[in-house]
Amino acid sequence: MTHLTCMALKDSYRADQSPDVAPSEAEPPFSWRAALEIIQALALAVIISVVLNLFVVQVTEVRQKSMESTLLQGDRVLVSKVDYRFGMPERGDIVVFQPTTDSTIPYVKRVAAVAGDTLDLRDGNLYVNGTKTDYVGAHGATTPQSPALTYPLKVPADSFFALGDNRLASSDSRSFGPQPDDRIIGKVILRFWPFDRLRFFEW
């Protein structure tokens, strides 16, 4: 057998022993660069989410029944944190705030009166600056709750007077008094859950 014939047989044997998978179908090697890009994208998403939650908007769950039926217990709302960076609370706003009580749960109430307003509670009705005032969604008699508060009452500077729309089932400023503006976390602008009760509030 010639030398050339032996070489041909060896090459044929090697070809028979090679894998059937084509080189182009082989699994690509692990890319640390691609993994790093994914980690960077995830980190950026987390940072954006944290910044938005701290300074722009946050999601809050309504945990009380004091705003029924405007907001029900278990509703989830979107809260704007930028509104009061450029302005003051207005009558009728629905706000989330941390009350000056020992509650660890933020309250969701309506701003019934603002700094400088004089409010009175008479015959189950709310009067602001001498005018009987009704807010859409509010129901039930608006009666005093604490003997420590006397009416007419003038809301101090940089403060607001909060009431729940469900006046008979709300512990609010009638109980713990006017609240400092800096206790406000933000203004409710959207109820997004449950979806069948989606509602935008005035913004």
Catalytic machinery residues = 66, 109
The values of phi and psi at residue 78, to 5°, are -100, 130
User: How far apart are alpha carbons 180 and 98 in whole angstroms?
Assistant: 10
Q: Are 166 and 73 in contact (CB under 8 A)?
A: no
Residue 38 sits at the vertex; the CA angle it makes with 35 and 41, to the nearest 5 degrees, is 150
The CA distances from residue 184 to 83, 107, 111, 134, in Å, are 11, 9, 11, 23
Task: Count Cβ atoms below 10 Å from residue 56 Cβ, excluding itself.
Answer: 13
